[in-house]
Amino acid sequence: MIDAWGVFSNALWILGLAVILAVWSYASYEAGRSKQRVRHKLDELGYALALNAGMLLFLAGMVATEDRGWARVLWSILGLGLIAESVWRIIQHRKAAPSSEAQKRSDG
């Protein structure tokens, strides 16, 4: 009999790594087209949130496959930290958006 929980939990971390690889690859391509560094492209909000989503899938897979309680707690703490970092990025982006709109209007 197939262990459905094992397949699901291992699929989570594999999917997470696939998302991270895809985001990195696309950011690398776009950075090459626009003559930027990859790290500057990955620092943009969309790429950063996509990387964080991939990391969350990876961390969820680690929590699901882990047998030791203390390790599950550590993976969970990392996941909560990643969620907090994502929320912080969104807040910072929203704070910066009104000031950039005001600057565009004054330049207009």
pLDDT in tens, 11-23: 999 999 999 999 9
CA distance 3 to 65: 12
Q: Determine the pLDDT at residue 96.
A: 86
pLDDT tens-digit readout, 50-91: 999 999 999 999 999 999 999 999 999 999 999 999 999 999
Domain assignment of residue 61, given as a range:
4-107
Q: How many Cβ atoms are within 10 Å of 16's Cβ, its own excluded?
A: 20
Reference 59, options 87, 88, 85, 80; nearest CA is: 80
Total domain count for the chain? 1
Reference 71, options 79, 62, 80; nearest CA is: 62
